[in-house]
């Protein structure tokens, strides 16, 4: 299993009138954590796109457990439990500064050929990096 922990500070503009992180921002938080998770294994989204692979989200699920607040330092645990094929599934657990689980999520991203706009297999450069996390599966 591949796991990455991303730290993110809640900005004032991320909150709503109640002082909570606006619910719509969690997808953006997931994106930041996911991008940095991929970068941590030596690949960037830009590299994948430059090599002809787009990764649109085709499904997102979110469970709100407790609010996050302005200036809190959140930890977003991002993990992939299965090697991708034509779709990669990222799971997220968001923890507040007290290490309390406040949010859970999941995104499904398809691998799409940039030229043809058709779904395709995961690019070899990504598979080569990810395989090392699944040697005992």
Structurally, the chain folds into a number of domains equal to 1
What percent of the chain has pLDDT above 70?
A: 99
> ∠ at Cα 45 (41, 47), nearest 5°?
90
Its pTM stands at 0.94
Q: Which DSSP string do the residues of 73-88 spell out, in sequence order?
A: EEEEEEEE-S--SSEE
Residues 6+ apart with CB under 8 A from 79: 1, 2, 3, 4, 90, 91, 92, 93
Low-confidence residues in the chain, pLDDT < 70: 137
- Look at the chain and count its residues: 137
- pLDDT score of 25: 97
Q: Per-residue pLDDT tens for 20-59?
A: 999 999 999 999 999 999 999 999 999 999 999 999 999 9
Domain residue limits at 109? 2-134
| CATH number reported for the structural domain that contains residue 113 in this entry | 3.10.129.10
């Amino acid at each position: 299993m591949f796991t990455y922990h991303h730290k993110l500070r809640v900005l004032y503009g991320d909150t709503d009138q109640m002082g909570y992180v606006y619910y719509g921002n969690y997808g953006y938080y997931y994106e930041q954590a996911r991008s940095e998770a991929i970068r941590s294994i030596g690949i960037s989204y830009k590299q994948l796109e430059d090599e002809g692979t787009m990764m649109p989200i085709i499904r997102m699920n979110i469970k709100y457990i407790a609010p996050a607040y302005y200036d809190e330092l959140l930890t977003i645990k991002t993990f992939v439990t299965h090697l991708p094929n034509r779709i990669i599934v990222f799971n997220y657990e968001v923890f507040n500064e007290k290490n309390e689980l406040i949010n859970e999520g999941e995104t499904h991203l398809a691998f799409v050929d940039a030229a043809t706009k058709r779904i395709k297999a995961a690019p070899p450069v990504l598979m080569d990096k990810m395989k090392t996390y699944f040697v005992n599966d």
